[in-house]
Amino acid sequence: MGKEEEAQVRSWGFDHAFTWTDGPNAHYAPHAHAGKTTHHILAGDMTLWYPREEEGEEKKKKKRGKEAENEEDGAMAAAAAAPVHQGVTYGVGARVDVDAGRVHEVRMGPRGCTYVVGE
């Protein structure tokens, strides 16, 4: 497992491709890469999200929540102020691209994850 998929990732325009395995629930704190990367999942799953973008969305929702409070609509304000989690879980066969410089955070699933990284 991996060599054919590494060749496939290189065919997508990535010069460097390698197979990597993370254990169950492995976590990568918020980080970014200098170049675009891809992750082609071979086994298990990973959840990826963009924490800085979520923080921006949460601030927007809180602002809208305050505006709603000013309109005496407390229920709408409470919903608007709730934290947002935009994480998406990707499974076997998925291709996950992350643009250069885009801060992202990743958590592997309970069975871990094996994937081909393209850089």
Residue 118, amino acid? G
* Domain extent listing, the chain: 1-50+86-119, 52-85
Question: What's the pTM?
Answer: 0.74
Helix, coil or strand: residue 4: helix
Superfamily covering domain 1-50+86-119: Jelly Rolls (2.60.120.10)
Tens digit of each residue's pLDDT (9 = 90 or more) over 54-107: 665 555 555 555 554 555 454 444 333 333 456 999 999 999 999 999 999 999
Residue 104: HSE in the Cβ half-sphere, 13 Å Cα cutoff: 23
% of the chain with per-residue pLDDT over 90: 68
pLDDT band at 53 (very low <50, low <70, confident <90, very high): confident
Beta bridge partners of 28: 106
Answer yes or no: is pLDDT of 1 > 80. Answer: no
